[in-house]
Amino acid sequence: MGQTLAEKILSEKAGRSLHAGEFAVVPVDVTLVQDGTGPLAVRQLEAMGLAGPHRPESTLVFLDHGLPSPRQELSNDHLFLRDFARLTGCRLYDCGSGVCHQVVAEEWASPGQVVVGADSHTCTGGALGAFATGMGSTDVAVAMGLGENWFRVPESVRVVVSGELPAGVYAKDLMLWLIGQLGADGATYQALEFDGEAISAMDMSGRLTLCNMAVEAGAKTGLVGSDQVTREYLAASGREWQWRELQPDADAEYASRIEVDAGQLVPMVARPHRVDNVAPVSEVAGTPVHQVFIGSCTNGRIEDLRIAAAVLRDRKVAAGVRLLVMPASRRVYLEALRAGVLADLVEAGAAVSPPGCGPCAGVHLGILGDGEVCLSSTNRNFQGRMGNPNSSVYLASPATCAATALYGVITDPREVV
């Protein structure tokens, strides 16, 4: 019987043939924690009596959610994690390094790996053909300390995307549409495996957006087979040696199959307060917003910032609207600086913050006021998500965000590009 990508990767790591539904203890290549989940993971590691990280060189500690620190409590958590990294030899990514998932894509994830992170969007790494999944602090502490953890091999949903995305329609719109189809629990315990000509043609940035949001349909991970796009992405950061081709078998068995013609898709939004509460942008066009946020592990890459800058260049953000821009990593920030992308955005009226997760997770740098509305390029819009239960968040692509910033009301990007 053939294997899906998830079955293939987990079988290879476990050293025996595994299929969906089976349980296995599997070695883990890369583990990560961030400043919200890391302190608990470190305390659990100690409570379990484990000496320290099994492989410190691939145990990653990110200070990304609350950096630069807005409060002394967080500053002390950061001290705690810095000490842990120094004492154990783990890799520390301090202030300004970037959102963990973006850095993992740039520097760590590669085809065939198993990546476990104490952050639900760890599934982002599946875009590079890694089995990457989010777990809680204790589970990640086990993976750190023992170099392995248990997995239930997931069933997979085959998502076949044919055709070509129309102008003004992006991976984010495809993913919001898919989450609307599946529902927020439609792929629970499963893997979403993306394929089709639109995926083959999609750059790594778009693939990362798709896999990032797999968890919003309940999925354990999202996966894209490793191909020449993967190879070029790895090569661009000096990691071509980590490339290998990795595709599912032609006779692999899937729990279900979803086919979509990319050419039929339109710009989408997720309305408050659920990610699966999706609609075409046209249905909510004209809704006033107070804040627009472009950033995050979902859509804070250079490609996203270029799209936003193309919309906003030589124009001004509407009066009464705050446009917040946060490059997803130092690498993205530098590239955007050097290419003049940030200059375009700042001239249009954007406020640029250092790489991190603050506004998306409701920690700092963009908390909403009572009754305020934000259109965001991020991945979640649960009640209170951006720090205030009396506010509302809509989710959309960077293009829709930029178009909306121009007019101060939710705007279809096809009307401005």
Partner 1 sequence: MIVEGYAHKFGDGISTDHIAPGRYYHLRSRLDELAKHVLEDADPAFAAKLRPGDLVVAGRNFGLGSSREHAPAIMKLAGVGAVLASSVARIFFRNAINVGLPVVICDTSRIIGGDLLKLDLEKGVVANLTQGFLVRISPLPPVMLAILGDGGLVEHVRRHGRLALEV
Contact 115, 103 (CB under 8 A): no
Q: If binding is defined by CB under 8 A, does position 255 make contact with partner 1?
A: no
Of the residues 19, 88, 92, 189, which one makes contact with partner 1 according to CB under 8 A: 189
Q: Give the residue, chosen from 168, 342, 380, 392, that forms a contact with partner 1 under the rule CB under 8 A.
A: 380
Say how far apart CA 183 and CA 276 lie, in whole Å. Answer: 5
For the window 192-231, what string marks contact with partner 1 as x by the rule CB under 8 A?
-----------------------x--x-x-----------
Closest separation in Å from C-beta 312 to partner 1: 28
Nearer to partner 1, 286 or 384 (CB): 384
DSSP structure string for 235-279: HHTT-GGG---B---TTB--SEEEEEEGGG---EEEPTT-TT-EE
407 touches partner 1 (CB under 8 A): no
User: 126 or 168: whose CB is closer to partner 1?
Assistant: 126
Of the candidates 138, 143, 198, the one whose C-alpha atom is nearest the C-alpha of residue 166 is: 198
Judged by CB under 8 A, the residue of 6, 67, 118, 161 near partner 1 is 118
Token reading at 286: 């004209």
Residue 69 CB, nearest distance to partner 1 (Å)?
Answer: 9
Q: Is 295 in the site for partner 1 (CB under 8 A)?
A: no
25 near partner 1 (CB under 8 A):
yes
Spatial contact of 87 and 75, defined as CB atoms under 8 Å apart: no
Which of the stretches 40-48, 93-101, 200-208, 290-298 binds partner 1 when contact is defined by CB under 8 A?
A: 40-48
Residue 91 within binding range of partner 1, rule CB under 8 A: no
Instruction: Report if residue 149 touches partner 1, rule: CB under 8 A.
Output: yes
Burial 135-145 (b: 16+ CB within 10 A, else e): bebbbbbbbbb
The Cα 109–Cα 116 span in angstroms is: 11
Q: Select from 8, 13, 54, 65 the one that contacts partner 1 (CB under 8 A).
A: 65
- CA dihedral sign of residues 67, 42, 121, 92: positive
389 is a contact residue toward partner 1 (CB under 8 A)? yes
Contact yes or no for 189/221 (Cβ under 8 A): no
Among 134, 168, 267, 413, binds partner 1 (CB under 8 A): 134
- What are the two backbone dihedrals, phi and then psi, of residue 80, each rounded to the nearest 5 degrees? -60, -45
190's tokens? 């499963």
Q: Looking at 174-182, 312-320, 355-363, 397-405, which segment touches partner 1 (CB under 8 A)?
A: 355-363
Q: How far is CA 36 from CA 32, 75, 120, 304, 361, in A?
A: 12, 11, 12, 26, 10
Task: Give the residues lining the site for partner 1 (CB under 8 A).
Answer: 22-25, 36-37, 39-40, 44, 47-50, 65-66, 70-71, 73-74, 76-77, 80, 117-120, 122, 134-139, 142, 145-146, 148-150, 152, 184-185, 188-189, 215, 218, 220, 274, 361-363, 367, 380, 382-389
